[in-house]
A and B are shown apart, each in its own frame.
Chain A
Amino acid sequence: MSTPRYIKDVVTLRLDVEKCNGCALCTQVCPHAVFAMEERRARIADRDACMECGACAKNCAQGAISLSPGVGCAHAIIRQWLSGEEPRCDC
């Protein structure tokens, strides 16, 4: 089974290639193979596979990756709409 697909063209993932030092940690921590290395710099190879978990940004010591992480969970987002609080899950 290939990587499952979700809604296209919505994720907030951004990569500033200028800041990349080629450590390739983003390719290691990403669970959906979003990044690839090209000429010793990272590039976003498969943006629509991104689930915005934030592992790449957290482990980019250069601060080259940005995204607005959140909870990919309808239940939590409904609670956020109702309460105005940050989305949280009860897991």
Chain B
Amino acid sequence: MSECCGPPQSCCCDAPPEYAYSPQLFVTGTVDTLAGPVERISTQLGASDKRGAVRVRLGIRRGDYRVRPALYAVGSPDDTSPVLVTCNYKLTFDVVRRELAGRDAWLLVLDTRGVNVWCAAGKGTFGTAEVVRMVRKVRLDQIVGHTRLVLPQLGATGVAGHEVRSRCGFSVNWGPVRASDLPIFLDAGMTATPEMRAVRFPLADRAKLVGVEMSVLWRRTSLVLLGLAAVIAIVLSQVAPEMLGRFGLTVLACILGVLAGAAVAPLLLPWVPGRAFSLKGALVGVAVVGGTVAVVTAGDVPLWDWGLVAIGTAIASYTAMNFTGSSTFTSPSGVDWEMRRAIPLQLAALTAGIALIVVSLIAG
């Protein structure tokens, strides 16, 4: 359910599959080289590029937003121009070529199955073998007279620079984390400041990931559950219409729990107390679900209300915990540590909540 479960992991990939690629509207011509013609690409993003970016941010057909793996030319590069390496997720490719506006450079696009650099490096597709394969395939040694490659720093999870060098003769320069720092990096003679090497997790990035996270939730079990809730509501309206309000509030508490954990907690991440995401989610869940229930019912059925708060909090804690997969700083050891402690508590809160509602029903 996550944007990316972070690096690293065992490689899940066999031989590169053959994909169909969309028409590459960004190609504006060709540049002749000793290894044959190389396609020249525009550094301007067009309307279709922007539409595509919005689409994948919403999680729609995110898996097939690919560029054909190849060597591309930016401007009028020659045998002294820098060679930059990137993945074939088109969102990344677009950001990189935009940052190269006004320059002459070579852009080597690896086949990462349309996955971004960091995730692909974790999977091993943005890896040593793929770098070596593409360097040989495009006959890079016939195109440039130097032996330097600039790789994005986040590719280092999958690429061992010293192995690339020993296997194909090209040495790896680690470029900045963010494409937006490429111009400064290149102008400074390929040196990066500590700031360029640091991964942050600012609000804007978290907001983009929340969009994807929510879209995935929307597609999966939630539609079935909402359908089920609608059926129960229709049945209730026939047999026990007086329960309809209660039932509606219960459904609302569950939805708010999901929103609290999957959207509110991630957005407020640095400001919510605690280090464990499950704790952050629980705190936001208590506030959002508890606050709403208190406002809506004004203490109408206390036992049931407490049950809803417990259930909503458990859901918020669980969904916030799942945001660890989208975050840029959670260690697997830490996630394991928090899960072993949080999941029993989440189950206990859920059980207690259901028990309270059952007791409330029996007590009438």
Contact = CB atoms under 8 A, between A and B. Distances in A.
A33 B195 CA distance: 10
Given A10-B337, A31-B198, A75-B2, A53 B275 contact: no
Contact of A51 (B269, B321, B331): B331
A75 B322 contact: yes
Contact of B174 (A4, A29, A53, A88): A29
Interface residues of A, number: 45
A6 B321 CA distance: 12
Contact of A61 (B157, B162, B174, B202): B162
Contact of B153 (A3, A29, A86): A29
Contact of B334 (A11, A54, A76): A11
Contacts of B119: 89, 91
Interface in B73-115: 115
A29 B156 contact: yes
A47 B329 CA distance: 12
Interface residues of B, number: 56
Given A25-B174, A59-B161, 4 more contacts: A72-B334, A73-B6, A76-B5, A77-B335
Interface stretch (B7-15, B136-144, B223-231, B301-309): B7-15
B8, B119, B161, B202: most-surrounded residue (chain A CB, <10 A): B8
A58 interface: yes
A71 B4 CA distance: 9
A20 to B, nearest CB: 14
A70 B350 CA distance: 29
Interface of A: 1, 3-8, 10-12, 25, 28-33, 49-56, 58-59, 61, 68-78, 86-91
B328 interface: yes
B332 interface: yes
Most buried by B among A29, A51, A53, A72: A72
B334 A73 contact: no
Contacts of A28: 153, 174, 192, 197
Interface in B172-211: 174, 177, 192, 194, 197-202
Contacts of B3: 91
Interface string B317-328: 000011011011
Contact of B329 (A51, A54, A55, A68): A51
A51 B6 contact: yes
Interface string B43-62: 00000000000000000000
Contacts of B339: 74, 77-78
